[in-house]
Amino acid sequence: MTTTVPAVTTPSGRRAPSRPGPRAWAALVGAEARMVARDTAGLVMPFGMPVLILVMYGVSDATTIAVPGSGGRTAFDVFVIPVVLAIVVGIIGVINMPSFLAYYRRSGVLKRLSVTPASPAMVLVAQVVVSLAQTAGGVALALVVATVAFDARLPASPGVALGVLALASAAMYAVGMLVAAVAPTPNAALALGLVAFFAFGATGGMFGAVSNLPEPVARVGELLPFGAAVQALGDAWAGQPVETAHLVALCGAVVVGAVGAARWFRWT
Amino acid sequence: MDAVDARNLTKRYRRRGGSTTAVDDVSLVAVEGEILGVLGPNGAGKTTTVEMVAGVRRPDHGSVRVLGLDPFTDRAAVRQVLGVQLQSGFLHGALTVRELAHLYRTFYGAGRDPDELVATLGLEEQRDVRYERLSGGQQQRVAIVLALVGDPRVVILDELTTGLDPQARRQVWGVVEDLRDGGATVLLVSHLMEEVERLCDRVTLLESGRVVAHDTPAGLVAAAGLGQRVRFRVARPLPPALLDRVAGVEEVAVRGEQVVVTGRGDLLQEVSTALVRAGVVATETRLERATLDDAFLALTGRPLTDDPSAGPRATTAPTEEAA
């Protein structure tokens, strides 16, 4: 076995800080941002699809059906916008981010970084930071389109909506990290991410009202990250109290994803 | 203190039905300021060995010190002073050469000017090209830029000129020589003889995961006990036994006009003198020395490379009249 280390002498000559500082963090976040911004195909889904859905429902009668007990809000406000926001968060967290991480691992980027003072973990953090910014951009775009083009109203409880959105993001990122951890190849990561996203979405109201789903499927879907996020956001928009079960479900996804990712993530 | 001190490294890989020993009790020692070559055929364990030195792979047995630091326990300190170019590393594909060089520069406390280094490696024209759009040789040069941008005191270069054309190869060799002139220690993995003979102060020869020999390039050739050959043409037949008693001559083969003298010592000088004394006009005189390739073959019984173009080859003295 490796012999024990004697007292370490710092190499003479120059005395440099041995860990990368704020400049390195900023440069890495900038690098990840460029990677994401130059991946044109990856931008279509989180920015294009939500707008498309908004337009589809915006020209339907969803904007005229008033939902009782929501302060005069319409079905568009209370059902469609939450679904759209969940799509933005879900695509970025469950599909895009794991694809990047799996690609970095597969191509040797993480290994290359592991022989520099920057640790591969810095890339993970930088990727999450960029994903957050991307999510904020996607959410902002969706809200602007909804309010400007279709007279949508903002949530009755904005603070709660923001909190739920943050929790939903954490849940989706955690699931994404789990996907990145267990997927052996970039292709597998993309496939797993898509399957997870559409499974969550289909059972959580992405393709129409949850009331059209079989009762047991709807019950399960409501406790998966997408469904829980849609329900909790809907409540926040309508100004209704958010159900504890939905918040617990989102927290559960965070824990399961994070613990699983920490357990199975491989750097090389 | 040795710049690189790796002792008794052993690495086994588990395979179905048992395990393979990729590296078996290999020690590498490089003193400060030297270029140590790690030479061997494909599958000899060169890359596994240097990856253990770089702290990428954990040895099953043995210890590694880089400038007195353990790459596994003193990771942060080692990373600041050790530059690594690995064979398998890919980079952020959508970033340009400049962006990559500047990004990696921020990881280090002290370092070199990224733009200058990009120019030194001949990548000025490609500096705004995305990494994924570069040719293999250009990507290889970017990898060298990133290994050097932190101004390391110890550098590991694994097959650094793979995929480079001859001109780029010589340019990179110049960069490595500048590193040594600047006092850095270089661990150079290669299977190219010309590269090793030109750059390395000492060489560790690996074969099948074991160290076969460790010496200077000239020392390895000498240890292999290979002589040298002098080859020339004569217009008229050589007087019999003329060269038999010349110092250092071991064998004389005459085929028509062509004469090949095998021996050792200052063979070219001795043979030339004898010919001039006897009034024999010799033309196209060439001295052929044994190369590291020949030495490797003699030491291991296998050729270093399967590639015929890089096979045994003569270092040819300029063809001229021996006077």
**In the predicted structure, residue B224 carries a pLDDT above the cut 90:** no
Tell me if A16 and B59 make a contact (CB, 8 A cut-off): no
φ and ψ of A104, to 5 deg: -65, -40
**In the predicted structure, residue B262 carries a pLDDT above the cut 90:** no
Where, residue-wise, is CATH 3.30.70.100 in chain B?
Answer: 227-289
Tell me if B106 and A19 make a contact (CB, 8 A cut-off): no
**Lowest mean per-residue pLDDT among A118-127, B100-109, B305-314:** B305-314
Touching A: B residues 136-155, CB under 8 Å: 146, 150, 153
Rounded to whole angstroms, how far apart are CA atoms B170 and B147?
18
Q: Is residue A122 part of a domain?
A: yes
Convert A202-230 to b/e letters by CB count within 10 Å (16 or more is b).
bbbbbeeebeebeeeebeebbbbbbbbbb
ipTM value of the model?
A: 0.82
- Angle at the Cα of A221 (from A217 to A226), degrees rounded to 5? 155
Pick from A13, A14, A35: CB nearest B95: A35
**In the predicted structure, residue B321 carries a pLDDT above the cut 60:** no
Measured between CB atoms, does A4 come within 8 Å of chain B?
Answer: no
Rounded to whole angstroms, how far apart are CA atoms A204 and A213?
9
Where, residue-wise, is CATH 3.40.50.300 in chain B?
Answer: 2-221
Instruction: Output DSSP code: residue B125.
Output: G
Q: Is residue A21 part of a domain?
A: no
**pLDDT band for position B68 (50/70/90)?**
very high
Mean pLDDT of all residues belonging to chain A: 88
**pLDDT band for position A42 (50/70/90)?**
confident
- What is the pLDDT, as a whole number, of residue A17? 58
The tokens describing A133, both together, are: 């910014």
**Structural domain total, chain A:** 1
- What is the pLDDT, as a whole number, of residue B306? 55
Q: What is the mean pLDDT of residues B150-165?
A: 91
CATH fold of B2-221, please?
A: Rossmann fold (3.40.50)
Question: Could you tell me whether strands B35-39 and B202-207 are parallel, antiparallel, or unpaired per DSSP bridges?
Answer: parallel
CB B10 within 8 A of CB B59: yes
Q: What is the mean pLDDT of residues A105-123?
A: 88
Q: Is residue A196 part of a domain?
A: yes
What are B31's strand-pairing partners? B2
CATH fold of B227-289, please?
A: Alpha-Beta Plaits (3.30.70)
Measured between CB atoms, does A41 come within 8 Å of chain B?
Answer: no
CB neighbours (10 Å) of residue A80?
Answer: 26
Measured between CB atoms, does A18 come within 8 Å of chain B?
Answer: yes
Measured between CB atoms, does A16 come within 8 Å of chain B?
Answer: yes
Q: Is residue A12 part of a domain?
A: no
Return the amino acid letter for A199. A
Consecutive H or E run containing B99: helix B97-105
**Lowest mean per-residue pLDDT among A189-198, A233-242, B269-278, B311-320:** B311-320
Tell me if A111 and B86 make a contact (CB, 8 A cut-off): yes
Mean pLDDT of all residues belonging to chain B: 86
- What is the pLDDT, as a whole number, of residue B278? 85
Percent of chain B with pLDDT over 90: 49
- B212, with CB counted inside 10 A (0-12, 13-18, 19+), is middle
Residues of the domain holding A238: 30-264
A131-145 pLDDT per residue, tens:
999 999 999 999 999
Q: Rounded to a whole number, what is the distance in Å from the CA of B103 to chain A's nearest CA? A: 6
